[in-house]
Chains A and B, each alone.
Chain A
Amino acid sequence: MTVDTSRLQRRLDGLRRERTNVERTGGHSEADPDIRRAIEAIVAAGEPFGRPQPVWQGIEPVDPATLARRLADGLDADAIETPHGWYVRRELRPVYLPIDRGRLASLPGMPASATPLLCLDTETTGLGSAAGTVAFLIGIGWWQGDRMRVVQFLLPDLSEEAALLDALAAEIPLGACLVTYNGRTFDWPLLETRYRMGRRVPPPLDGHLDLLLLVRRLFRHRLPDARLQTVERHLLRRHRAPDIPSWEIPAVYHSFLRGGPAGPVRVVARHNAEDVVTLGRILAHLDRGYGEGEVRRWAPPGDLMRLARLFRHEGRIDEAVACLEIACGPVDGGDPDVALATVELARLLRRCGRLADAGVAWSRLVSAPGPLAGLAWIELAKEREHRERDLAGAWAATDQALLALYRSRGHGNAMERRALEADLARRRARLARRLARQPA
């Protein structure tokens, strides 16, 4: 069965007319506004090219060699031909970024110091990792001594993907650990999809360190959000030159494929390279600011408390205690993070049987603001009653606890406070009975 082609053509023409009507009445036309905005951003950034006009090329195929060369020329890169097609390779000047792998490996969740690390970031033709989204630019970075080398692979046309994927696979060293930002849910599943689409096996990895998860756990409390550029600004204190917003990136590439200039793709490549280096900078930041030893002393108490949690989750209790001890160390003066860290420290010490140390920690909290003082006095009351057998001292502590709770009215959870108060009342009655029985 075949459809009458002339009828099909007529109906398609009808649809074409509808489309032009929509455009005339100001409906959605092509993605031009997006591209225009992207280009304006580039011009504002002082890129050395004029305002390019997207050229309508029609639907006739273009030789991939032509596209590859055009892309390579626009990006000061190399167009490379392989048996499976063309790709464009761009190597940037290495970035000085010293890192102590041994010290980094001491942190929870970090790969062993001998494992090669490969920072990776992709730019894609759309969102999501479904079958129709293509990674048209893949940037990778790795350490060579104190410097980070950054190489980018670009796709000159959608038909050339096999060449790009093979080139990437060749650069991933055996037993490498991938370092990404949100790569567990986005970049790597997307690349796996691409390899499967090309009926290829995805390159094997030995671990995948998704820094998004780590950043969320360690620093989210003092960042407005967890986007990579926010991390860059607030944590690494680096300010990027005007950059292209991520959501405009697909339009730039599609515009290039349709005959547009390669210049805007250069801006995307710069963005991608920045992202790759930022991954390395985050690792360096973790190493220099949180690694084992002296450096940790200068880290904010809130960060250290969260780092201690990561240690605890890995069962590294001693290191968790060490972190917390630094966090609630000499600095005081009403920092709420310090108080919270002290609570965690006291609880952790009690859990591993260091009761006396726990008592010391609790006693540092009795002057803390809010309901924490009440909590600390309760713990001290338990300590004195059950371990030190100091009934009078315990009685005094319950009094202090009630007083602290009374003062902290209006803070925290009222229900919780009432429960604590009821508990204290019972404890007090019991202490009264025991004190009465005790020979004077």
Chain B
Amino acid sequence: MRYYEPAPVQMVMDRLLAEPSLSSGVVHHAYVPARPADLVAMPDWLDPGLREGLASRGITSLYRHQAEAVEAVCAGEDVVVVTPTASGKSLCYLVPTLQALAADPTARALYLFPTKALGQDQVAELGELSRAAGLHINASTYDGDTPNPIRSSVRSAGQVVVTNPDMLHAAILPHHTKWFQLFEQLRIIVIDELHTYRGLFGSHVANVLRRLLRICAHYGSHPVIVCCSATIGNPGELAALLTGRAARVVDRNGAPAGDRHILMVQPPLLDPATGARGSAQTLATRWALPFLRADRQTLVFGRSRVGVELMLSNLREALRLGDGPRTRVRGYRGGYLPTERRAVERGLRDGELLGVVCTNALELGVDVGQLDVSILAGYPGSIAATWQQMGRAGRRGGTSVSVLIAGGGPVDRYVVEHPGFLLDSPPEEARLDPDNLHVLLGHLKAACFELPFEPGERFGPSEAAPLLAFLAEEGLTRHAADDRWYWSSDNFPASSVSLRAAAEENVVIIDTTPDRPRVIGEIDIFAAQTLVHEDAIYMHESAQFHVDKLDWDERKAYVRRVDIDHYTYADRAVTLKPLETFATSPAAGGDRAHGEVMVSSLVSMFKKLKFGTDENLGWGPVHLPEIELQTTAYWLMLGTAADGWSHADLDVALLGVGRAIQAVAAVLLMVDPRDLGLVSQVRSPHNGSPTIYLYEAVPGGVGMAERLFQRHDELVAGAADLIAGCGCESGCPACTGPRLERDIDAKHLALCLLRVLVAEKDRAVVTGVAGGATSGVVPGAAA
């Protein structure tokens, strides 16, 4: 075979599919035909200068979704635009912004991006477009990197202010009087990458927006809100939850696209007994190499920074062996310097670079142009992110290929084996709960600090007075004789709320090895219990640290560099107590419910395990207080389903079913599986029945439990599918979880239980139940 000869994408792909060791892993091969552009003439009311400027940049008409959005925004209607990557979403807000500024230079716009880099890109694009339109627009980023002397000019003269929610929360809103020119004339608020505002972060941002709109009202402005989102299941609902206002959903994509092949790949099963599979990273490099050798621009996405570095060095090594274009392959991840990152982006745009191995740092709207191939080593955690990473490949005029390679976990396997999730209607939803009491109270304090509350004023869903009275008992607010509520404390409340962390307090990890101790990291107190207890071995950037001291009250862990042959593993004992049931309803085999629970987590001992062999080298005690978490949960109580089971079998089956439901829930609700905790009880002390609890690992929850309750049937059916479809013999980490003992068939037990739990209507379609791979004998009865 001749290497290093330019070849079309299609030809390279055909060659790869002819290779049995690769093609055998392809679970699904989808073909998406090319789509022509759906164009609409420029609106005739558009400012002539702006129209000329657009024309000079080659834009003489708009795609359908752009036209629809521009019309609506300029008519004062809130809009949420939902179209794929590279469909020209930014024009949907750039055109209305420039139109407003052309008509009235005193108008102001505020753009919110989840990260700093994205904001800087938009400032550049806005600058180019406004210069082309002959407008002199002062557009500036305002973030942690903005130098002090420039800050005051942005405050007073920035017509378009580009920032992120964290900056808005901590620096702009508490100082709104210094921004009065912005707030008095604010016409447009843009929230790009809407789908990233989910979960706890989204709940915080929703409250920051409540505060923002409150300040706008104080200064008498009524801005229109434009949201842009990648493809998710519930864009309108998400926008409404986030902004508190109904928005018009614009989702008819008018942008053209070339044809595309999508390959779903499962790494080969190496050992059916343990369920061990080949590595997604190795497979990703195998898929990437032939494209690189054929001179096709290829992106490889890794899940972690370490994974990216490994794949990068493997690819370079393989290319070096034949004098290949080794230097044209680069890495890109968080932790690289901004200049390096800009150089990589430029290199990709002008074709200088052939391949880039990256983390999701390149997933969001950073402009790198359109490439030939994208390879995903591992499911990125949500369908929306998968589409964004895949969408990096796709030239308007030619064929592109996207390869999704499943990683080791059950979620990855489930997605790859159910291509419908990815290819058909987007089933996953972004959830958030702006009324989470913990989150809401934090922002209510900040809101009261920013502006006294008027009599009867609402914050979120209800009147603020009862909550303000609660804060008054803490000496934070004051009810004055004019019936207003005033902030009455010397605290600066915004500083005690971090938008991106669950708990207010994190444990700071301090390395005492160097002469001057330095902070190497920060983890939340839950993780701290198991990772930085005294005598733990803490891993950081593949270096080992011994925890000498954990000062729990001060939230500080003191560590020291060591080089030893073992690691530590701490067991967490979780107990769960339901506090209040919000709703309950019958389900197949029992009852489902959701409500408020108290989760207590206690770590009392840890094990020392040898590297490689996992041999137990001893144990030690952990003396840490119990942590309590009040949150919401969804649970399943078994009724008749548990009849005839032995205690031991039921224990295994409940855990296996719980793990599978947890994995499916992570896919459906677009959450990190770690944000959903699992507790299974063979005999619950609270309801007497065998129960599986899934709780939200965030104080107060963000509304996922209620959705899990509503989508119960899908969860159970999905779990049955996941386990039945697994190639392992008797349970593995990719279905029922790591095996505890050799001679227990967790897979069989879990499937037996699921057979009764799957709803009547789903039985025919769920393979694990209808296929009848195993006998229908209840295992407990046989024993």
Contact for A64 among B178, B470, B481, CB less than 8 A: B481
The docked-state distance in angstroms from the alpha carbon of A19 to that of B482 is: 29
B490 touches A251 (CB 8 A): yes
- Within 8 Å of chain B (Cβ to Cβ): is A412? no
Within 8 A of B (CB), among A1-57: 1-3, 5, 7-12, 14-16, 19, 30-31
| CB within 8 Å for A131 and B177 given contacts A3-B435, A63-B481 | yes
- Within 8 Å of chain B (Cβ to Cβ): is A254? yes
Q: How far is the CB of A199 from chain B (nearest CB, A)?
A: 9
For residue A251, which residues in chain B have a CB less than 8 angstroms away from its CB?
490
B470 touches A131 (CB 8 A): no
Contact for B492 among A5, A14, A130, CB less than 8 A: A130
B481 touches A62 (CB 8 A): yes
- Scoring A12, A158, A258 by chain B CB atoms within 10 A of each residue's CB, the highest score goes to A158
- Within 8 Å of chain B (Cβ to Cβ): is A60? yes
The docked-state distance in angstroms from the alpha carbon of A63 to that of B482 is: 9
- Scoring A3, A9, A15, A132 by chain B CB atoms within 10 A of each residue's CB, the highest score goes to A132
Within 8 A of A (CB), among B468-508: 469-470, 472-475, 478-484, 486-493
Interface 1/0 per residue, B446-486 and A, CB below 8 Å: 00111110000000011000110110111100111111101
B177 touches A193 (CB 8 A): yes
- Within 8 Å of chain B (Cβ to Cβ): is A175? no
For residue A59, which residues in chain B have a CB less than 8 angstroms away from its CB?
469, 472-473, 478-479
A1 touches B461 (CB 8 A): yes
The docked-state distance in angstroms from the alpha carbon of A126 to that of B495 is: 14
A3 touches B490 (CB 8 A): no
The docked-state distance in angstroms from the alpha carbon of A125 to that of B476 is: 12
For residue A10, which residues in chain B have a CB less than 8 angstroms away from its CB?
580
- Within 8 Å of chain B (Cβ to Cβ): is A127? yes
CB within 8 Å: A-B pair count: 107
For residue B490, which residues in chain A have a CB less than 8 angstroms away from its CB?
125-127, 250-251, 254
- Within 8 Å of chain B (Cβ to Cβ): is A61? yes
Nearest A residue (CB) for B219: A199
For residue A8, which residues in chain B have a CB less than 8 angstroms away from its CB?
437, 462, 466-467
The docked-state distance in angstroms from the alpha carbon of A429 to that of B554 is: 67
The docked-state distance in angstroms from the alpha carbon of A129 to that of B492 is: 11
Q: How far is the CB of B706 from chain A (nearest CB, A)?
A: 13
| CB within 8 Å for A3 and B461 given contacts A16-B473, A130-B449 | yes
A11 touches B451 (CB 8 A): no
A61 touches B489 (CB 8 A): no
| CB within 8 Å for A158 and B474 given contacts A14-B630, A61-B479, A132-B448 | no
Nearest A residue (CB) for B170: A130
Q: How far is the CB of B56 from chain A (nearest CB, A)?
A: 42
| CB within 8 Å for A131 and B449 given contacts A3-B435, A61-B481, A159-B486 | yes
| CB within 8 Å for A158 and B480 given contacts A3-B435, A14-B630, A254-B489 | yes
| CB within 8 Å for A12 and B176 given contacts A3-B462, A64-B481, A257-B488 | no
Q: How far is the CB of A273 from chain B (nearest CB, A)?
A: 22
- Within 8 Å of chain B (Cβ to Cβ): is A192? yes
Nearest A residue (CB) for B244: A1
- Scoring A8, A62, A131, A197 by chain B CB atoms within 10 A of each residue's CB, the highest score goes to A131
B176 touches A30 (CB 8 A): no
Q: How far is the CB of B480 from chain A (nearest CB, A)?
A: 4
Q: How far is the CB of A432 from chain B (nearest CB, A)?
A: 50
- Within 8 Å of chain B (Cβ to Cβ): is A383? no
Within 8 A of A (CB), among B392-410: none
Nearest B residue (CB) for A61: B481
The docked-state distance in angstroms from the alpha carbon of A384 to that of B175 is: 62
| CB within 8 Å for A5 and B466 given contacts A126-B492, A131-B451, A132-B450 | yes
For residue A197, which residues in chain B have a CB less than 8 angstroms away from its CB?
177, 451
For residue B703, which residues in chain A have a CB less than 8 angstroms away from its CB?
none
For residue B580, which residues in chain A have a CB less than 8 angstroms away from its CB?
7, 10
Contact for A61 among B178, B437, B461, B483, CB less than 8 A: B483
| CB within 8 Å for A159 and B177 given contacts A8-B462, A125-B490, A132-B449 | no
Nearest A residue (CB) for B473: A59
Nearest A residue (CB) for B173: A131
- Within 8 Å of chain B (Cβ to Cβ): is A157? yes
| CB within 8 Å for A125 and B488 given contacts A2-B461, A3-B435, A196-B180 | yes
Interface residue count on the A side (C-beta < 8 Å): 43
| CB within 8 Å for A157 and B492 given contacts A19-B474, A59-B472, A132-B449 | no
Contact for B484 among A12, A132, A159, A192, CB less than 8 A: A159
- Within 8 Å of chain A (Cβ to Cβ): is B174? yes
B479 touches A254 (CB 8 A): no
Nearest B residue (CB) for A13: B470
B176 touches A131 (CB 8 A): yes
- Within 8 Å of chain B (Cβ to Cβ): is A242? no
Q: How far is the CB of B269 from chain A (nearest CB, A)?
A: 48
- Within 8 Å of chain B (Cβ to Cβ): is A128? yes
Q: How far is the CB of A190 from chain B (nearest CB, A)?
A: 10
For residue A14, which residues in chain B have a CB less than 8 angstroms away from its CB?
579, 630
B178 touches A193 (CB 8 A): yes
The docked-state distance in angstroms from the alpha carbon of A130 to that of B170 is: 10
Q: How far is the CB of A202 from chain B (nearest CB, A)?
A: 10
For residue B487, which residues in chain A have a CB less than 8 angstroms away from its CB?
132
Interface 1/0 per residue, B174-190 and A, CB below 8 Å: 11111010000000000
Q: How far is the CB of A87 from chain B (nearest CB, A)?
A: 14
| CB within 8 Å for A12 and B466 given contacts A127-B490, A132-B450, A254-B488 | yes
B481 touches A157 (CB 8 A): yes
A128 touches B492 (CB 8 A): yes
For residue B174, which residues in chain A have a CB less than 8 angstroms away from its CB?
130-132
The docked-state distance in angstroms from the alpha carbon of A362 to that of B157 is: 51
| CB within 8 Å for A254 and B475 given contacts A132-B449, A158-B488 | yes
Q: How far is the CB of A17 from chain B (nearest CB, A)?
A: 11
The docked-state distance in angstroms from the alpha carbon of A179 to that of B423 is: 70
| CB within 8 Å for A131 and B461 given contacts A196-B177, A254-B490 | no
Q: How far is the CB of B206 from chain A (nearest CB, A)?
A: 13
Within 8 A of B (CB), among A121-151: 125-132
- Scoring B176, B480, B493, B579 by chain A CB atoms within 10 A of each residue's CB, the highest score goes to B480
| CB within 8 Å for A131 and B175 given contacts A30-B475, A157-B481 | yes
For residue B486, which residues in chain A have a CB less than 8 angstroms away from its CB?
158-159
The 7 closest A-B pairs by CB, nearest first: A132-B449, A159-B480, A250-B490, A126-B490, A158-B486, A196-B177, A59-B472
Q: What are 12 sample pairs from A and B whose C-beta atoms fall under 8 A apart? A: A1-B461, A11-B596, A16-B470, A59-B472, A61-B479, A126-B492, A130-B492, A131-B176, A158-B486, A193-B178, A254-B475, A254-B488
- Chain B residues engaging chain A, CB cutoff 8 angstroms: 174-178, 180, 435, 437, 441, 448-452, 461-462, 466-467, 469-470, 472-475, 478-484, 486-493, 579-580, 596, 630
Instruction: Identify 14 new A-B residue pairs, CB closer than 8 A, beyond the known A59-B473, A158-B452.
Output: A12-B437, A14-B630, A15-B470, A61-B483, A130-B175, A131-B174, A131-B175, A132-B174, A132-B487, A132-B492, A159-B480, A196-B177, A254-B488, A257-B488
